[in-house]
Amino acid sequence: MGFLPYSSEFQKIILANIEKKTEEGYFNKIINLFNEKGLTIKVKYMFPKKPSVSFYRVFCFIKKSDATVVIDAKKDCDLTIYIRLKNHKFLDKLSDFTDNIRNQILTAKDCSAPDSVDCKDKMYRFTFNNKRYIKCMSISCNFKFTNISKNDFSNIIDIINEEIEYMAEK
């Protein structure tokens, strides 16, 4: 099954999978942010090998490029938010983020082919506390946030807002 346009019907189905009220709020805030800006939101029904773990994945686009934010709302699991960004300046602010968000960024999957021509523009290169990092921009191993607190979510929203502003200038 391909992408489907996001609708209030999908929102009800997806929210039914989110067990924590705080995570419902996080989900709604991201969706509202993209809706208010007139940005594209699409849904894809995901059915891994175990039908009992099927779920909806929500894709939020700033432009017609790759999805910027992807949200997985699986039943009996914490909400998972993936973020892929063109504006890498947020990495200059790592020390301002909560320990949880900073740790999830620093422990994200490293780029497996940093010298590859195919990956040239598809990785994050940065230094934090005198250590060099090269992280992958592929959404499947990109910055993936789980176990999100209220303070963590504030960091996530700041990152998304900066990306929206950055892409509006492009």
pLDDT in tens, 124-134: 888 999 999 88
In this prediction, residue 47 carries a pLDDT of 75
HEC string of 39-99 equals CEEEEEEECCCCHHHCEEEEEEECCCCCCCEEEEECCCCCCEEEECCCCHHHHHHHHHCCH
Q: What percent of the chain has pLDDT over 70?
A: 88
pLDDT in tens, 47-93: 766 666 678 899 999 987 778 899 998 877 889 999 988 888 889 99
pLDDT at 22 over 90: yes
